[in-house]
Structure formats: C-alpha cells, structure tokens
Chains A and B, each alone.
Chain A
Amino acid sequence: MNLTRRSALALTAAGLLLPSCASGNARAVRVGSKNFTEAIVVGEIYAQGLERAGLSVERAFDLGSVQIAMAALQRGDIDLYPEYTSTGLVDVLHIAPSSNASSNYRIVRDAYAKRYDLVWLDASPLDDAQALATTAAISQKFKLTTLSQCAVLAPQLRLATIAEFLARADGLKGLQKFYGGFQFKSVQTYAMALKYRALLDGADDVALAFTTDAAILGDRLIVLRDDRNFWPPYNIAPVVRRATLAREPKIARVLNALAPSLTTAAARRMNAAVDIDHRDPATVAAEFLKTARA
C-alpha cells in the first residue's frame, strides 16, 4: 500500500475510533449541559468544582433540548447536568409551576425521584426567569415600570420576542390570561440574538428578556417588575443519577456547597463576560470558583 492510501486508511480508522474515545474512562463523572451560555458556564462550574475535589470529569455540553438531556441522563450517557426547576415542571412533568420557589423545588425533586430515579441536589438562588424589558427612555415616556401597567399600555407598544414565547403556555398567552390586556400594537419575532437589538434600535418598544441576560447589566434596559408574580422562578440545580451519587457521594457535598453562591447577579456578570467580552466560559467559571471558595 502506498503512502497516501495508508494515511487515508489511518485517518478513516482514527475517525471511526474518535467517537468511542469518548466512552474511554468508565470511572469519570460525565457532566452535561445545554448549549447556551449560562448553561455552559454553570456546567463548567459544576465540572471544575468536581475536578478540584479530586474527581475525574468528562464534559458533554451542547445538548440541544431538555428532552435530549433527559434521554442522555436516563441512559447514563451523562451523570448530571444543570436544570431549572420550572423547566423540569413544565417541559418534563407537565405540571404548572407556582410562584413559590421552594414549593416548586420540592415538587420537582419529589416527582423526579419517584418517576425517574433522578436526584435534584440543592437549588441555587440563580433565577433565570422570563421577563419583559424596555428602554429607560420608553419607561420614562409612558411611566412604565410594572407588568400590570404594561398590560394596559400594550396597544401603544410594539413587542420584540422569540417564536417560543408565542407558543409556550407561560408565554404571551399566559400573560394575557393572568393579567388581562397585553394586546400589543404589533408583535415581531426575531432570533434570540436579535431581540435586544430591535429594542435598542427603536424598532420595538418592549422585548422579551431573561433575568440573567448579559444585556440587562447596566442601565440601558429596564426590567418590568412582575408585580402580581405571574412568572414562576427558574432556579438552577444539578440533576444527578442516583446510581452515580451512590458511587460518588462526594458529588452531593461539593455541588451543594457551591449552590448558594450562584446568584442571579453573579450569573448576569458571568454571562456578560462570555457574551460581551467574548471570554472563554471555562476561564470565567474558574474565576467564579476562586471567589466562591473565598
């Protein structure tokens, strides 16, 4: 076999072996996460926290949906991943969440344990909830600071949002049912990345926001207060396979110790570092862990 054929063969063999390399170390803890900035940062925090405690860790970030993450978790392709309490309630258990953070947590933890044999470790204060945001200028012009006011003023306002918001039960439809009103003058859908652009450029007046979004940092954007507590809290916590915990009880100790430091404000800062400053999520997570320990 000549050189080119040999190297082609080697490349093919390497390519075929590549995937199986992933399942190389059976004793390593596989940490998964979904594929948006906050999930990756928290995933890194969990992963590095466990590594610092002496465990070997493999990462499987880039999971596309909660269904994919659940399938992987149940099958054992990952051992744990960060999830939001209300996502677990709404998208997996199909239970309507309340506005009480601790009762949400209790319900989702008990249901997962019973139905899936999965354990929810301690939840963090980090609350990545939906919200509506507007510019400081609009807020002043319309005296707009709460959702109740927005419900009434909506016919004069243009909304920038993502398609999912129009489909979810706790999206626009839920708002309309709960608060009444919210008949916006116009509703425009954008890709996730562009909705704030539309707001800042003046093409729209109100935009869908997530409370830990980097763009909210600073004072160009104002988050409208959810004065009647429509939106449930979305607290983050590790969801772990029971078998993995039995094998490595350290996991619970380490991650529970981390939990209280993951606040909404910290998340916003870390999201900004990655999204705006384009810093590496692993580095940002490492810095967080240093300050958290201290």
Chain B
Amino acid sequence: MNARAGATIAFDSLVVTYPGADRAAIDGVSFDVPAGSFTVVLGPSGCGKSTLLRSVNRLVEASTGRVLLDGGDVSGGDAVALRRGIGYVIQAVGLFSHMTVAQNIAVVPGLLDWEQARIDARVDELLSLVGLEPQRYRARYPRALSGGEAQRVGVARAIAAQPRVLLMDEPFGAVDAIVRASLQDETRRIASELRTTILFVTHDVDEALRLADRIVVMRDGRVEQAGTPLELLTAPATPYVASLFGTGTAIAAEASLRDVLAAFSDGAQRLTVRDGDNVGTISFAALRQARGDNDLS
C-alpha cells in the first residue's frame, strides 16, 4: 500500500508567537515522534495543538526553535515541496467544491506530475481503502456527500501521493458520534496498513485513547506529559493529566458489571481497564449507551 516508511518528527524547543499576540501559542515544546507511529496531541482549545501541527508543514513558521523531519530542519528548503510530501486533513475537510471526488483525490499526484493512468488507479485504490465504492463515488461532487463520506475523501486526498507524514487536525470533530466511531476504527485500520507517521490532534480523550500509540498532552502552549496511553493512565505526571484520564482507579478486564458499577458510584466518570499490558478506559457515558444497546442481565 505505502512503499515508503514514515519519517521521524522532532520538535526542538519550538516557540511560535503570532504577530500581535501577548503570549506565545507554543511556548518551548520538545518531543520526538517515532517513525511510523500514531501520535496523538491531546489538549483543550487554545493549548496550541493545531499550531504545533501546522508548524510541521510550515503553514505556521517557527519563531525560535526547530521542527525536524527525519533529522532535517523543515525551514531549510521549499515549503511547497515540503507540503506535497506531507498529508494534511482538517476538521472542515475543505474538499474543493467545484471538483469531483476523483479530482480532489488526484490533486497532489497531479501537482507531482504523475501519469494519468497511475493517478486513476491510485484514486480507485484509495477510495476502496477508505471504504467508498469507486464506481459510486468517483464522479460525485462534494455537495452530494455526507459528513462522514466527505472526510473519508479528505483522508484519501491527503495520502494520495504516499506521504511519509500524515497530519490530522481534529478531523472527526464535525461529524456525529456514531459516524465518528466508525471513522476512528477506519483510521486505525488504515494506519496499521500504511507505514506513515501520523500526528493526530484532538481534544477528545476517548478518541486519543482509542487511536494512539503515544499521547502528548498539551496545555497553554506547553507539553504536560508525553508517553504511551498506559503510562499516562497509570502514572500521570501532573494533576492536569490525572484529571484528564480519571482518578487512576483500575479494574481488571474480567471484572463483573457489579464491580464496574460500584467503581462508578464513587463519582468517577472514567475507569481504567487493564488486560495484562493492554489498557483502555471505559467511560460512564459509553457504558450507559452500551447498556441501552445490549441485553445486559
């Protein structure tokens, strides 16, 4: 599917201040993103996570510090060429409304002067990958797509030219919860098939836990903690991180429903579930929803 391995990304004391702002949007951020990993940047609105993402493809320029792609400073070179090698998915999708689905997906390959036959084949391949039947969707216009379908096309467009890095800025924030869940699963599946490095931004804790190999928690332009979901759940470095992931109460995966409900009655909104080294969470809200769907006795 994707022949090239993902690139590493590194932030080195990055500071970004927008002109006219009184405080920095990114105030000294340093962390590494391993090649091929799915790294989620998690934080509330205004924490600088979108700015961080956009500093990778230079839609935002660093004020001081560096952003490194495979060890090379991204600011040394042509920004346009850089962006053609980086996939970019945004919440508002931004499909070009005067172009068909196929033409949208073909944009970057077109910019890279691929032959038409190769582009056509790639479009069909990608539509299948994101779960849209090529025959039905190739010639459609964006206005004839649902929110979920549009974002699938947005993802296909972003990875069309086999980028080594994929940037995703709260891509599922604008779709409803049910569609969001299926899109998240699709993303996880696609990520495991590709070897692209994925940097994913969200404010949704559940989404982060569902998707991430590594989570970086940000607040007020700084990194609170970076690590695996397990580390963040079991060893939160700051009170803020702890508040995000619940009190740290853990129950075993084989626990009975009564134990789970008892743990919730303490007032927690979220519980950590351990199954050996695997860890996940279950939120109270999700439990109530599941209870409605299944016949729990």
A and B touch in their complex, CB below 8 angstroms: no
